[in-house]
Amino acid sequence: NKYRLKLDTWVFLNEKEEIGVFFNKKPEILATDQVFYFSDSQLLPLTIRHRNQGDRIHTKVGTQKLKKILIDDKIPQDIRAKIWIVVTTENLVLWVPSVKRSDLSESPVNDKMQYMIIFRNKV
């Protein structure tokens, strides 16, 4: 499954999970939401998909294989298959909700125009 994320639109991944890319401060953020902030519009458009062999994520020390991160974090095999990852058109892994953020993740800044990806899990 692969979904293109359009600005200001929610994408329903399944009955429990949804994701959207919005301008900063647009929708209300729930306490259970996970949010990833970035300001570089060149990262758009984004896609969300399950992981592929050889996916790598940017870290402060270069890139790291997603598989290694999942092993290091002791994430069970059955969950690994269901993990969503947010990627750019170049297949650069930006974010793995619940697992890892790339170093392109920013903290929310009030006076800066930023985008935010909201991953919502309805428990």
Mean pLDDT of the chain: 92
Q: Which token pair is 26?
A: 């647009």
Residues 77-123: tens digit of each pLDDT = 999 989 999 999 988 899 999 999 998 888 887 777 799 999 999 87
pLDDT at 31 over 90: yes
CB distance 26 to 114 below 8 Å: no
Residues 112-122: tens digit of each pLDDT = 779 999 999 98
DSSP string computed for the chain: -EEEEPBTEEEE-SSSEEEEEEETT-SPPPTT-EEEEE--GGG-SEEEEE--TT-EEEETTEEEEHHHHHHHTT--HHHHTT-EEEE-TT--EEEETTTEE-TT-B---TTS--EEEEEEE--
Per the document, the length of the chain is 123
